[in-house]
A and B are shown apart, each in its own frame.
Chain A
């Protein structure tokens, strides 16, 4: 049967194009324009070519922040994805407890990001915080404002607590979508629990896990509010991630040119890694990668 082509459908795309133009393309163009100029104020600017890019690329503080960011995002993915899948596998499939578990899991996702930081500041305070005080009473000496390791542990705990539910909910949706016939066939064949997970559940979750990994990578790579509230980038520069350093340059020092050059490099890194993850996850399990 011949397909009917109706190009008028393209008209329906125009509103999205307009929204994307104003929310992404025009700001991106402006950042590119800023990155090649020294901006003194409205109408006062001087062309500097690639000077800001050279300055930013040679900045050792940016290199440190970049490695810190990769470490943070790597840990986030390594912990949150398997943990989220495990929680989804352990969640009830039917009955009244499903709604209860879903609501409890969704709670951390409903809290504003800066409030999350505040909650964890109080929770981990060595003097009055439930976690900080308890650990100190055990004689372990915990203070996220003084020790870089403690600051990282607190940040990771906060991040895992905040965002693992998202991975779990996505994985749960993927699991619920698998028809019972697959499990019945596996049972008839005498498949082990591991074989069911490896050859039925995991491949069927590929789509939702692709979204989960992409979202968690991009979100963790762009993280700002929670570490800014919790540690302010410290102690020292121990938790100064790319976005915190970028805001210091753009808002703290009002160096718009270097901040714009920094933003473009930041954008290109996120774009490259998101594309690689997307391609790998689309091709894994299809005999293409």
Chain B
């Protein structure tokens, strides 16, 4: 089956593989170490999956905000997004 119609590129393939691996890792973690709802700095009680979702959504907005406002290479946004993900997953 040709996937040419999907117009794949290497960077987007790596991006989606990363997301898929993240979801697989979360499933594995859940089986070994079930999540417990807790309250961190976010104003709601969250599970591990909730925090991953907030982290990913926030990362998307950080990249968009960077493109809209900052006149610098995009990897700067990626560093900020990684920090945001780490903070949300640990203390969110």
Please list the residues of chain A having a beta carbon within 8 angstroms of any beta carbon in chain B.
26, 29-30, 32-34, 36-37, 39, 42-43, 45, 47, 50, 53-54, 57-58, 265, 268, 271-272, 275, 279, 283, 288-289
Contact = CB atoms under 8 A, between A and B. Distances in A.
B61 A268 contact: yes
B67 A54 contact: yes
B9 A33 contact: yes
Contact of B57 (A36, A45, A47, A275): A275
14 contacts: A26-B6, A30-B5, A32-B16, A39-B7, A42-B5, A53-B67, A54-B67, A54-B68, A57-B64, A57-B67, A268-B60, A272-B61, A275-B57, A288-B45
Contacts of B53: 275
Contacts, number: 53
Interface of B: 4-9, 11-12, 15-16, 43-45, 53, 57, 60-61, 64, 67-68, 74
A272 B54 CA distance: 9
Nearest to A34: B7
B22 to A, nearest CB: 15
Contact of A272 (B12, B44, B57): B57
Contacts of B68: 54, 57-58
Contacts of A45: 7
A42 B5 CA distance: 7
A211 B16 CA distance: 30
Contacts of A32: 12, 15-16
